[in-house]
Structure 1
Amino acid sequence: MLSKKIKHLKYQNRNFSINSKKVNKNDIFFAIEGSKQSGSLYSSEALSKGAYKVITSKNIRNKNYLIVKNVKKFLVEACSVKYKEKPKNIIAVTGTNGKSSVANFYFQILKNLKINSAAIGTLGIFYKNKVKRTNLTTPDIITIHKELNFLKKKKIDNVCLEASSHGLHQNRLDGINFTAGIFTNFTQDHLDYHKNLKNYLQAKLYLFSSLLKKNSFAVLDTDIPEFSIISKICNKRKIKILSFGSKGNAIKLISHYYFGKKQIIKINFLNKIYNIKLDLIGDFQIKNLFAAILASYLSEKNPDQIINVLSKIRSATGRMQYVGNKKKSAVVVDYAHTPDALKKSLQTLAKQFNKKVDIVFGCGGDRDKGKRYKMGKIANQFASKIYLTNDNPRSENPTSIIKQIKTGCSRAKIILDRKIAIKTAINNLNTESNLLIAGKGHENYQIINNQKKYFSDQKVSKLFLK
């Protein structure tokens, strides 16, 4: 029944839209019911702009409207028909932290193996030697189908995309045939949206409980608490498991040690021992790399070739990224914006360089307020000098955000201007400490009073490291 309705739309030379403000003449507008606003409120605006048809669930008897039971479900099916041609291997990675690194490592591995591939997520769409910027970690339904179709036309058959909890919960990835799903880890984040950890986890698990099909793959870490629940889902749904960790069936870490900015590891990969030197900061990057190796293995079944290119892998932009040093003290920029990520970044920097860690950070406005005190407490426990500054306050009062963080670290110095905070931290850096600039990572902007302005932690740091 749905496919008949899709044919009646004469969709071939028409664009789909879910935003009435961006509707052009002859577009098909899908009036989706959102969590805050109803798409049907914008139907008349879409028609006034020349929309060919409005897809609605409302009982409107008019030739300009097509009535369906579920607009979002209909849109998924319409996108699946219109953008039918997609890459053969599409892998989704979900989890609280590490998604961008996994997707980026996957892209780097296959690129070094001269296999056409792409990564889609927070950092943008990477393919061949190009980057397309995106606004969301997981693009909207139309954009994701359209971009996958575009990549296929570019002869790309291997894609790793980030599956955010928002994207999964809002069904943005429905209708895509996934080869595999990766689960990195799970800790507190996005409770402003999900309200509690149970809802947040359920959104993540949707990838395994609903989207992955029989005989697809799940790439899992055996050492995380969620491994048992995900493996039960996979066994029930006949999804094959490729795992890493202390009980991994594909990769086991035998030994690990630091060598300056590098890490030396010995692993058992599919019953063969390998020694690898990695140019990566942060022990948790090893787990991200393991996930990327197993995802790459689904595209390139030669373990030796995969291992041979690992020494060429570099950290993704703003992910434990070394930006320079002052008197042999390293300055590292990281996206850590959750309590768990902040703790791990501080711990691993201290461990890798055997030094104290100073920190510059803040918390985003209009987001999960419950993590502010926790992040302050973590900085108080694991950092040496603490500089509290603006992250992206958005519409919130910056001073109010900083005060909430400071309840967990009363000894912190407050410098609201992020540029001055970074300058002060670098000027005060001594040979006994390294500096972590946390929270914004790859972002090249700051949002204060809902005004967006250019700002880059990396560029500002380099300015004061000269």
Structure 2
Amino acid sequence: MLSKKIKSLKYQNRNFSINSKKIKRNDIFFAIDGLTQSGNSFISEAIANGASAVVTSSSIKNQRYLRVHNVRKFLAEACSIKYKKKPKNIIAVTGTNGKSSVANFYYQILKNLKINSAAIGTIGIHYKNKFKKTYLTTPDTITIHKELNFLKKNGIENVCLEASSHGLHQHRLDNININAGIFTNFTQDHLDYHKNLKNYLKAKLYLFKNLLKKNSFAIIDTDIPQYSLLKKICNRRKIKILSFGSKGNTIKLISHYFLERQQIIKINFLNKIYNVSVNLIGDFQIKNLFAAIIAVYLSFKDKDKIIKTSTKINTATGRMQYVGNKKKSTVVVDYAHTPDALKKSLQTLAKQFNKKVDVVFGCGGDRDQGKRFKMGKIADQFASKIYLTNDNPRYENPISIIKQIKKGCPRSKVILDRKIAIKLAIKNLKMDSILLIAGKGHENYQIINNKKKYFSDQKVAKFFLK
């Protein structure tokens, strides 16, 4: 039925759009409902700009209108038909933290093995030594289908893409033939959108309950609380589990220790023992690396070469990224913007370097307010010196955001100007401490009110380290 409706659009030579302002002559407008506004409110503008047809869920009688029950799902199917060519091996990685690192590690390993691949996500699209900027962790439905089609035409058959909870909930990855799904971990985030943890987890599980097909693969950490639930889902749907962790059936961690910025691990990878040294900061990066290694193994079966190449891995931009040293004190930038991520970052830095950890961080405006006090409390518990500053306050009052965080860490120092906060933190950094600049990671901007200005934690930190 849907296919007939899609064909009725005569879509072959027409572009699809979900933005009425970007509509051009003969485009097809999909009136998608957002959080605060209905796409139906922009139909008149779309038609005025030249839309030849409108897809809507409303019962409006007009020759140009095509009524469907769910516009988002219909758009995904329409895109899958219009942009039919896709890479053969598409892997989707979901979870609260680690998605960008897994996708980036996957790309790096295959690149070093001289195999064309791509990573799509928060950091952007990496392929063939090229880079495209994206504005969402999981791009909108039209963009993701177009980009996958583009990658296929450029000879790329292996893609790892980030599957955000928003993207999964909004059907952006529907009708894409996903060969494997990776689940990294699950902790609090995005409750401004999902309202509660139950809905948030449900959105993540959509990948395994609805999108993965029989005989596809699930790559899961045996050490996370959600493992047994994921195992039940996969067994019921006949999805093959490739696990990693302390009880992994594909990669089992035997031993692990630190040597300054290096981590030395001993693993059992499909019944063969390997000793591996990687130049990564953060013990949780080892789990991200395991997920990427297994994903690579699905398309390249030489274990020895995969492990050898894995030792050359570099950290993804803004993910436990080494910025520089002040004498013997290290400065690290990380995207940690959730309670769990901040806790793990502070804990692993103290563990890896055997030093106290100072932290510079804030919380984003117009986002989940419930995590602010929690992040303050975590900083109070695990950080030595705490500098509270602006993240991206957006339209919220920065002082209001800081007050909510400070309730959890009353001893913190407040410096709203992020540049000055970083400057002071570096100035006060002692030899027995590490500095973590958290929250923004790869972002090279700050949003205050309606203004977006250039700002890079890495560049600012490097400047003051000089």
Question: What TM-score comes out, normalization by structure 1 length?
Answer: 0.99
> For 1:360, what is the secondary structure of its paired residue?
strand
Q: Give 1:147's aligned residue.
A: 147
Whole-angstrom CA distance in 1 between matches of 2:406 and 2:7: 59
Q: Give 1:403's aligned residue.
A: 403
Q: Which moved more, 1:24-33 or 1:279-288?
A: 24-33
Within a 5 Å distance, the mapping from 1:30-429 to structure 2 comes to 30-429=30-429
Tell me by how many angstroms 1:32 deviates: 2.0
Whole-angstrom CA distance in 1 between matches of 2:359 and 2:235: 43
Tell me by how many angstroms 1:309 deviates: 0.5
Moved over 4 A (4+): none
> For 2:352, what is the secondary structure of its paired residue?
helix
Whole-angstrom CA distance in 2 between matches of 1:387 and 1:57: 49
**Matching residue's letter, 1:241:** I
Deviations 1:99-154 (A, max 9, x none): 00000000001000011100000000111111100110011111111110010001
Deviations 1:386-427 (A, max 9, x none): 111111111111111111111111111111100000000001
Whole-angstrom CA distance in 2 between matches of 1:3 and 1:423: 58
Q: Give 1:18's aligned residue.
A: 18
Deviations 1:44-83 (A, max 9, x none): 1111111111112323332222233332222111111100
**Runs (5+) with no aligned partner, structure 2:** none
**Matching residue's letter, 2:70:** N
Whole-angstrom CA distance in 1 between matches of 2:99 and 2:37: 29
**Matching residue's letter, 2:270:** L
Identity of aligned residues (%): 80
Tell me by how many angstroms 1:13 deviates: 1.6
Q: Which moved more, 1:76-85 or 1:53-62?
A: 53-62
Deviations 1:181-205 (A, max 9, x none): 0000001111111111111111100
Q: Give 1:449's aligned residue.
A: 449
Whole-angstrom CA distance in 2 between matches of 1:69 and 1:382: 50
> For 2:274, what is the secondary structure of its paired residue?
strand
**Matching residue's letter, 2:425:** A
**Matching residue's letter, 1:339:** P
Whole-angstrom CA distance in 1 between matches of 2:155 and 2:219: 25
Tell me by how many angstroms 1:284 deviates: 0.4
Whole-angstrom CA distance in 2 between matches of 1:304 and 1:175: 35
Whole-angstrom CA distance in 2 between matches of 1:201 and 1:392: 25
**Runs (5+) with no aligned partner, structure 1:** none
> Does the CA-based 8 Å contact 2:216-2:239 persist in structure 1?
yes
Q: Give 2:4's aligned residue.
A: 4
> Does the CA-based 8 Å contact 2:72-2:170 persist in structure 1?
no
Tell me by how many angstroms 1:93 deviates: 0.4
Whole-angstrom CA distance in 2 between matches of 1:342 and 1:67: 46
Whole-angstrom CA distance in 2 between matches of 1:235 and 1:143: 33
Within a 5 Å distance, the mapping from 1:453-464 to structure 2 comes to 453-464=453-464
> For 2:198, what is the secondary structure of its paired residue?
helix
> Does the CA-based 8 Å contact 2:11-2:82 persist in structure 1?
yes
Whole-angstrom CA distance in 2 between matches of 1:313 and 1:53: 48
> Does the CA-based 8 Å contact 2:104-2:316 persist in structure 1?
yes
Question: What TM-score comes out, normalization by structure 2 length?
Answer: 0.99
Whole-angstrom CA distance in 2 between matches of 1:45 and 1:123: 33
**Matching residue's letter, 1:86:** K
**Matching residue's letter, 1:418:** R
> For 1:87, what is the secondary structure of its paired residue?
coil
Whole-angstrom CA distance in 1 between matches of 2:358 and 2:294: 35
Whole-angstrom CA distance in 2 between matches of 1:435 and 1:56: 51
> Does the CA-based 8 Å contact 2:358-2:434 persist in structure 1?
yes
Q: Give 2:434's aligned residue.
A: 434
Whole-angstrom CA distance in 2 between matches of 1:409 and 1:178: 44
Tell me by how many angstroms 1:212 deviates: 0.4
Tell me by how many angstroms 1:35 deviates: 3.6
Whole-angstrom CA distance in 2 between matches of 1:393 and 1:407: 18
| Number of residue pairs matched by the alignment | 466
> For 1:309, what is the secondary structure of its paired residue?
helix
Deviations 1:146-180 (A, max 9, x none): 11001000110000000011111111111111000
Tell me by how many angstroms 1:233 deviates: 0.2
Tell me by how many angstroms 1:301 deviates: 1.2
Deviations 1:331-383 (A, max 9, x none): 00000001110010001111111111111001111111111111111111111
Whole-angstrom CA distance in 2 between matches of 1:84 and 1:423: 51
> For 2:5, what is the secondary structure of its paired residue?
helix
How big is the alpha-carbon RMSD for the aligned residues of Structure 1 and Structure 2? 0.9
> Does the CA-based 8 Å contact 2:356-2:384 persist in structure 1?
yes
**Matching residue's letter, 1:274:** Y
Whole-angstrom CA distance in 2 between matches of 1:67 and 1:377: 50
> Does the CA-based 8 Å contact 2:57-2:70 persist in structure 1?
yes
Whole-angstrom CA distance in 2 between matches of 1:310 and 1:390: 36
> Does the CA-based 8 Å contact 2:392-2:447 persist in structure 1?
yes
Q: Give 1:465's aligned residue.
A: 465
**Matching residue's letter, 1:319:** R
